[in-house]
Amino acid sequence: MAGNAVKVGRYALGERIASGGMATVHLGRLDGSAGFSRTVAIKRLHPHLCEDPNFTGAFADEARLAARIRHPNVVPTLDVVSTEGELLIVMEYVDGDSLSSLVRSMGKERIPLPVVVAIVSEMLHGLHSAHEAKSETGKPLDIVHRDVSPQNVLVGA
């Protein structure tokens, strides 16, 4: 990670790796004790939305709900950081690319059908785990992912 990373608590916020309507995702690094460090992804609410309680509330809800989902095909939420009027969601970093980038990189070639079936099948398993997620007391959370798109499907290397 470059030396121009912004420090937020024990996290270093690096280059932008993705952006959507509500937030930007940055490459990040967790700096712990005894020289420990770990690469993470840090989702940062867009600055113009930080002042709107509806957006900050939705962002915080997203982090709380995502933390309840435990499945190999769902990116784990590791931490939530609130600092200087900002809210950050720290997630495990997935070394890979979005499905949309993968499709673009193929040009006119098509992704082989067995690979497409495997990606869609694994994605559906992850979505199913979200739909089945429960609170700490065992109550269904009734999560519905409202933004399933090729940009939001990560294909690990």
Gap between the Cα atoms of 153 and 20, Å rounded: 13
The first and second tokens of residue 31, run together, are 């700096």
Annotated active-site residue in 61, 79, 142, 147: 147
Q: Is 147 assigned a catalytic role?
A: yes
The beta-strand segments (E) located in the chain are 6-8, 11-19, 23-31, 37-45, 77-83, 86-92, 96-98, 154-156
Gap between the Cα atoms of 46 and 42, Å rounded: 12
Hey, which residues are catalytic here? 147
